[in-house]
A and B are shown apart, each in its own frame.
Chain A
Amino acid sequence: MTNVALGRYVPYNSFIHRMDARNKIFCLIALMVAVFISYPTYEITFIVGGALAVFIFALLLISHVSVKDIFKSLRVLWFFIILLLVINIFIPPKGAENVAFSMGSVNVYWEAIFQSLKIILRLILMIELTMILTATTKPLDLTYGLEWYLTPLKLVKFPAHEVAMTISIALRFIPTLLDETDRIMKAQSSRGVDFKHGKLSARLKAIVSLIIPLFISAFQRSEELADSMEARGYDPKAKRTRYHILRFSLNDLFSFILVGALMSGTIILSHYQWSLQTTSFVPWYSLILICIFIYIILVGIIDAARRKA
């Protein structure tokens, strides 16, 4: 049961833990952009990628995510990494011309190796980033943050509250279901089920003996939850106040500016490199980013105005 602890909220009191969930979501998106943006040469890609990796590793240390957990999450990626290498070797990227070495009749290009390394680096950084977010933010805060981003969409009849509620219930029940899984596994182990060893058919049977009771109790739980919510007069349309209020502190402003600057820096860097080759070309994604920026600021203003009222 140890591997399921991945990405679970770990209650420490670090700088990142204290950050506003909304800000953390923004920072995650901004850093993802910085990670995924592309540069014309591999040198710049790896220099910027390396710098980001160091930065994100520092974030990991600050947020107390255990390094062991990260390696565990990478273990799942092994298969993918090998597949990627194979594909890139047999179908080299466009414009590949520097041969690293030959294997029989197949030429292995430097570009192919770099291309796969680039994707692997991006993947690892992406996983680490999401791990930081989920390890440092309570699931409920995360959904409140999401709901905050979705509120303006209520104007176009988007059920923001319902979606947030559904997500928060789903998240709330993950640990419960994990405990349940553990309990049923123990009960079945006492009846001689071996979940780790044995023939394929025996292991299939073992999984069936786990899944059926798990599903039944999950359905029962959801029914009970729905009943108890209704009994307490839950109405998704009702206007409600909130016990837990997200606060945007000075630290948040600081990290918001820092991460925003980092993202803008990578965009400018990538844009500048492009413009050396082509004539002033604005990448399409920077437009989207500007829109997101304006959107966040607008939502913030609306929210502040509503709180004052």
Chain B
Amino acid sequence: MPINFKNVFYTYSEKTPFRHEALKGVSLTINDGSFTCIVGHTGCGKSTLIQQLNGLLIPTSGSVDVNEYHIEKKNKSLKKLHDLRKEVGVVFQFSEYQLFEETIEDDVAFGPMNFGMKKEDVLKIAHECLKTVGIPEDYYKKSPFEISGGEKRRVAIAGILALQPKTLVLDEPTAGLDPRGTKYILDLFKKLNEQGTTIVFVTHDINIVYEYATDVIVMNEGKVVLQTVPEKLFAEDVEQYSLETPLIQKTVNLLQAKGMKLDVSKIRSLEDLVKEIAEARK
């Protein structure tokens, strides 16, 4: 079932001088099996939006439907939200700060164990997840505090993957990673997406949207400005939404201006571009 937002408002610290309206009437749909990117400026409500997805925040007004769960202010039973969190895994920004166990494998196993799974089964899942994120086997018994920042991030992501969620929500998981680490993690999400997991990806980086997204949601000041597919978004002038033009598109534009004939619809990644250029030069 798709995720549905119906006219969602969210206000922080209501009735105090710290009152802050983060979401102002958001309606959107996130389709099953999609790789949906949410883009927008800092403070436009992206992070608030994703916290509605697993019931960490309950809308001040309006409603959110995730699978069979109906989240609304009137209807809050915490027991159900607990189960919802197994279906929607959220990886927060700077997720490396959530590690606390003595060993890496225990930390990854922590999530599933909270949902009542047995330790032996969980360890097996934990090892699998650590393998998917590319943590070598001799790390499993190490303390999560003695590895590098990028590795910590991967362990934290494995901790959410271990819940085996149907929907994976990621809040800038690549911030602060080196280019190789970024590519590795993005390809991992792409693979998960192909295996059927719905991915909701919050980012600033328009290049990621260009390369990976199947759906795009553009936000500005607590409102959804645009919900569309990347092909349509990048056919227009993206700068009107105060977004940057992706590097690949810039290159294509420059090459086309010089008279090279390229099929834009086929180009999504750097490899595609190289192939197209080779084709055009024949």
* Interface, chain A (partner B; CB < 8 A): 5, 10-12, 183-184, 186-194, 196-197, 208-209, 212-213, 216-217
Give 18 pairs: A residue, B residue, CB < 8 Å, sorted on A.
Answer: A10-B16, A10-B17, A12-B17, A184-B97, A186-B92, A187-B92, A187-B95, A188-B98, A190-B90, A191-B98, A191-B111, A191-B160, A192-B82, A192-B111, A194-B114, A196-B78, A209-B98, A209-B100
Closest A residue, CB atoms, query B113: A192
A contacts with B: majority SS: helix
Which residues of B (83-106) have their CB < 8 Å from a CB of A?
A: 85-86, 89-90, 92, 95, 97-100
CB contact under 8 A between A190 and B97, given known A10-B17, A196-B78, A216-B145 = no
Chain A positions within 8 Å of B51 at CB level: 186
Chain A positions within 8 Å of B110 at CB level: 191, 209
Q: Tell me which of A10, A11, A186, A196 contacts B56 (CB under 8 A).
A: A186
**CA–CA, A10 and B19, complex, Å:** 12
What's the tally of chain B residues with a CB closer than 8 Å to chain A? Answer: 26
Does B54 touch A at the CB level, under 8 Å?
A: yes
Q: Tell me which of A12, A186, A191, A196 contacts B114 (CB under 8 A).
A: A191
Chain B positions within 8 Å of A184 at CB level: 97-98
Chain B positions within 8 Å of A187 at CB level: 92, 95, 97-98
Chain A positions within 8 Å of B90 at CB level: 190
Instruction: Tell me how far the C-beta of A1 lies from the nearest C-beta in chain B, rounded to whole angstroms.
Output: 10
**CA–CA, A191 and B161, complex, Å:** 10
**CA–CA, A193 and B16, complex, Å:** 29
**CA–CA, A193 and B101, complex, Å:** 14
Contact A191 B82 (CB under 8 A): no
Contact A217 B115 (CB under 8 A): no
Does B222 touch A at the CB level, under 8 Å?
A: no
Contact A213 B78 (CB under 8 A): no
Closest A residue, CB atoms, query B169: A190
Besides A187-B95, A208-B100, A209-B98, 15 other A-B contacts (C-beta < 8 A): A10-B16, A10-B17, A186-B92, A187-B92, A188-B98, A190-B54, A190-B85, A191-B111, A191-B114, A192-B82, A192-B111, A192-B163, A193-B114, A216-B145, A217-B97
Instruction: Tell me how far the C-beta of B34 lies from the nearest C-beta in chain A, rounded to whole angstroms.
Output: 21
**CA–CA, A5 and B54, complex, Å:** 25
Contact B115 A11 (CB under 8 A): no
Does B159 touch A at the CB level, under 8 Å?
A: yes
Q: Tell me which of B17, B89, B100, B112 contacts A190 (CB under 8 A).
A: B89
Which residues of B (15-70) have their CB < 8 Å from a CB of A?
A: 16-17, 51, 54, 56
Closest A residue, CB atoms, query B112: A192
Chain B positions within 8 Å of A217 at CB level: 97
Chain A positions within 8 Å of B99 at CB level: 213
**CA–CA, A202 and B275, complex, Å:** 55
Contact B160 A190 (CB under 8 A): yes
**CA–CA, A196 and B76, complex, Å:** 14
Closest A residue, CB atoms, query B16: A10
Contact B82 A194 (CB under 8 A): yes
Contact B17 A11 (CB under 8 A): yes
Chain A positions within 8 Å of B115 at CB level: 192
**CA–CA, A208 and B99, complex, Å:** 11
Chain B positions within 8 Å of A188 at CB level: 98
**CA–CA, A119 and B106, complex, Å:** 51
Contact B100 A212 (CB under 8 A): yes
Instruction: Tell me how far the C-beta of A25 lies from the nearest C-beta in chain B, rounded to whole angstroms.
Output: 23
**CA–CA, A106 and B17, complex, Å:** 52
**CA–CA, A193 and B115, complex, Å:** 9
Chain A positions within 8 Å of B163 at CB level: 191-192
Instruction: Tell me how far the C-beta of B169 lies from the nearest C-beta in chain A, rounded to whole angstroms.
Output: 9
CB contact under 8 A between A183 and B82, given known A190-B54, A192-B111, A192-B163 = no
Residue of B92, B98, B99 contacting most chain A CB atoms (<10 Å): B98
**CA–CA, A288 and B97, complex, Å:** 51
**CA–CA, A192 and B56, complex, Å:** 11
**CA–CA, A99 and B110, complex, Å:** 61
CB contact under 8 A between A216 and B97, given known A191-B159, A193-B114 = yes
Residue of B78, B97, B115 contacting most chain A CB atoms (<10 Å): B97
